[in-house]
Amino acid sequence: MLEFRKSVFALLPAALAPFPTGAQQAAPVGKPPVLQEVVVSATRVEEDSFDLPVSIDRVSRAVIREDKPQVNLSESLNLVPGISVLNRQNYAQDLQISSRGFGARATFGVRGLRLIADGIPATMPDGQGQGATFNLNSAESIEVMRGPFSSLYGNAAGGVIQVFTADGPPEPTLSGGFYAGSYDTWKLSTQFGGTSGRFNYIGDISRFQTDGYRDHSWARRDQLNAKAKINAGDGGVITLVVNALDQPETQDPLGLTAAQVAQDPRQAGTNAIAFDTRKSITQAQMGLTYGLDVTRSDRLEARVYAGDRQVTQYLAIPLVNQNAATSSGAVVDLDRDYGGVGLRWTHVTTLAGAPVTASVGADYDRQAERRQGFINNFGVEGALKRDEDDTVDSTGIYAQAEWRFAPRWNLMAGLRYSRVEFESQDYYIAAGNPDDSGSIRYSRTTYAAGLAYRLNADVSLYGNVGTGFETPTFAELAYQPGGGTGLNFNLRPALSKHYEIGFKSRLGDTMRLNLALFHIDVTDEIVVNTNAGGRSTFKNASKTQRDGAELAWEGRFRNGFEAALAYTWLDARFTEAFTTAIGTPSTQVTVNSGSRLPGVPEQSLFGELVWRYAPVGFHAGVEVRHSGKVYVNDPNTESAAAYTVWNVRAGFEQRGRKWRIAEFVRVDNVGDKEYIGSVIVSEANNRFYEPAPTRNVMAGVQASLQF
C-alpha cells in the first residue's frame, strides 16, 4: 500500500483547477429546476425525496462548484438545515461537522455522523471519520440525511453525509483552471474523463495551498480521485474508485483564550510555535462495487475496499506532563490499515396488491492500527512513550422495506443489529506503566419507521420514529479517569430515541419548501470528564434532550432571479445534573440540569439571492450567514458571541460548441467583521476559540475542452 501511495502522489502536478466535464458543459446556463431531488441514502435505491418520510437534502453539482474553491464541505452544505459545518481555519484538525447537535463535541475529525463516498465508508468502524478525504472537484452530488434512518448505516446517531463522484462525460474532455485569494491561498488541478464503449472513466488531481488567516497555519493538500465503470450488460456494472490524500507538515495554530482573541485574533495559541505543532497525513484507498440485476425483481450489490492512513502529529504538551510515567508523550505516530466488505440484496414485489421494495444486507469493517507516542522535545521527536496495536471490528446486519400500501401512503421501516469490538495490545510496559492490554464489545439493535402521506400533488406530510447507537471512539477510550492506566472500559455507548414530523411542498418546478420538527432523547451521552496535562478522559452523562425545527426553502423567479434559505432552531440541553472538571489545574464543578450542550448554536441561518443574465452568461449573488451564541463547555461558563456575515460573488461564462471558459470573483465577510468561527469544546486551558477570517477575496478562471 505504501508503494501504491508513493506512485499516486508522484502523479500530482501543480496543474489546473477542476472544471465541469463535457456532460456538464452541455447543461443549460443556470441551476436546474428544483422539482425533483432523486436520492438513494434513505432507501438505498433511487427515489424522489418528496415521497420519503425522512429529512434528506441533495446538494447538486452546480451548488458545489459555482464560485467556490471546492476545498471544504463548509462551502457547500450551508443550504442544508440541521447540519453545521464549521471551517476551523485549521487544516490540521479538519472541519467541525454536527447534525442536530451530534458531533459538535469532537475536537478533531468527525464523529456522530456516517461519512460515505461512492458507497465506501469514510467513517472508521469506531465512529470517527475525516471530511478532508472527500474530493469535491469531481463530485456529482452530496446527500445529507438526518434523523433515525441514519442508524441503519451503523454506528452513528446524527446523520449520513454521502458524496457521489460524477460519471465521465460522453466525449473525452479535459478541464482545468486556477483560483487564488487572500492569505496566499491558491488551488490548481486538472480533470479528464470520457466514455469508450461500455467503459466510463473520470480522474481528478489537485493541489491546494494556503498560509492561513492565523499565524502558524500553513497547509498544503494534494488529492487524487478516479473512478472507472464497466457496464457489462447482463453481467452487471463494476465500478472501481481510487482516491488519495497527501497533506504534509500542516501547521496547527491551536485555540485561543478570550484574552488572546481580544489582543490579536490572528496569533497562534500558547506553545504552538515553541512545540512546532503540526500534522502530516497520507492516505490511499481503493474500493470496488458491483451491481447485478439478477431478475427483473431482484438486484444484488456488493462492495469491497481497503486503505492505509498514516498520521504524525506534534502536540503542545509541557515536558513535565509528557515525562509522567503514564503519559503518551506529545508526538502521535499512527499507521492504520482498514477495509471492509458489504453485500445487499433488494427484491421488488407486491403485498396486498401494493408495491413493496425490501432489502437485506450485511457489512463488515475493520481497522488495525499501530499507535506509538513519543516525547515532543520542542518540535523534535524524542523518547518512546506509547506503543500498541489497536483494532476495531464492526459487524452489521440490516433489513429495510418500503411499502406503498395505498395511492397516497408510503410506509418505511428498518432494523439493524450492530456489534463493535475494540481490542488493544500494549507493548509499552515500564515502571509506573503496566500492561494495559484489553478488549471490549458493544452491541445493539436499532430500528426506524416512518409514514408519508401525499395530501395532494404538491404537499406531503410525514412522521418517523427510531433509535440510535453511538459507541465511544478509540480516542475517547484512550485514558481512564483518575490517572489510571489502560483503556476506559467503563464507557458505555450513547443511546438515542428520535421523533420527527415534517411537511414537504413544491409549486410546479420552480419552488420547494421543507419543514421538520423533531425531539430526541439521549441517555449515556459521552461527555468530557477531565482535560489536563494532554489527557482527555470521558464519561457518560445521564440524559440530554434536543428539540428543534428545520426549514429549507428554494425558489426560481422571473427575470433571472433565484433565492434559497436554510434555517435551524435547536434547543439542546442536559436534563440531569452531573459533575465535570474545568480549567488547569482542574476544578470539579456541577453541570446543572438545563445547561445547553456546548458547540451547538441555538439558531443558524443561511440565505442567498442570485441574479442571472443568460444572454451574456453573467450572474451575481449575495449570501448571508447567521449563527447564534455557542457555549464552549458543559457548565456554560463561557461562550462565543452570535454573529452575522455577508458574502458577495459574481461570474461570467463563455461557451462554444466544444469549449467553455468561466471567471468568478467572491468576497467573503464583506463587512470585515471579527468573530469566532468555531470552538474547541471543553479545552483544558480555556483556549476554546478559533477566530474566523475578516474580509477576504478570491478570484478564479476555469476552462474545459471536449475532443
Mean pLDDT per 10-residue segment, the chain (707 residues): 43 33 36 67 88 94 93 92 88 89 83 91 89 91 93 85 95 94 96 96 97 97 97 95 97 96 96 97 96 96 97 94 89 96 97 96 96 96 95 96 96 96 93 88 96 96 95 86 77 95 91 97 89 76 93 95 97 93 82 94 96 96 97 95 97 94 97 95 91 97 94
258 phi and psi angles, rounded to 5 deg: -60, -40
Cα 131 to Cα 116: distance, rounded to the nearest angstrom: 10
pLDDT of residue 111: 86
Q: β-strand 113-117 against 159-165: which pairing, if any?
A: parallel
Contact 42/49 with Cβ under 8 angstroms?
A: yes
Sign of CA dihedral 79, 85, 88, 93: negative
Q: How far apart are CA 478 and CA 487, in angstroms?
A: 5
- Return d(Cα 187, Cα 205) in angstroms, integer: 11
Rg (CA), the chain: 25
CA 485/CA 477 separation, integer angstroms? 11
Confidence at residue 534, expressed as pLDDT on a 0 to 100 scale: 62
C-alpha cell at 255: 485555540
Please tell me the predicted confidence (pLDDT) of residue 541: 84
Q: Which long-range contacts (CB under 8 A, 24 or more apart) does 220-224 make?
A: 220/247, 220/248, 220/249, 220/250, 221/71, 221/91, 221/132, 221/245, 221/246, 221/247, 222/9, 222/12, 222/246, 222/247, 223/12, 223/135, 223/137, 223/189, 224/8, 224/9, 224/11, 224/12, 224/135
Of 193, 185, 226, 190, which Cα lies nearest the Cα of 72?
Answer: 185
CA distances from 243 to 6, 224, 225, 246, 261 (A): 13, 5, 4, 11, 38
Q: Which residues contact 579 (CB under 8 A, 6 or more apart)?
A: 588, 589, 590, 591
At residue 17, the pLDDT reads 31
Furthest C-alpha separation in the chain? 77
CB atoms within 10 A of CB 479: 24
pLDDT of residue 446: 95
CB count within 10 Å of CB 262 equals 10
pLDDT recorded at residue 2: 45
DSSP 8-class letter at 32? P
Neighbouring residues of 358: CB distance < 8 A, sequence distance ≥ 6: 346, 347, 348, 349, 399, 400, 401, 402
SS3 of residue 407 by DSSP: coil
* Predicted pLDDT at 615: 93
Do 137 and 189 meet the contact criterion of CB atoms below 8 Å apart?
A: yes
pLDDT at 638: 95
Tell me how far apart the alpha carbons of residues 248 and 188 are, in angstroms, rounded to a whole number: 17
Q: Are 518 and 546 in contact (CB under 8 A)?
A: yes
CATH for 2-279+288-706 is 2.40.170.20
**CB neighbour class for 11 (10 Å; exposed up to 12, middle 13-18, buried from 19):** exposed
Domain boundaries, the chain: 2-279+288-706
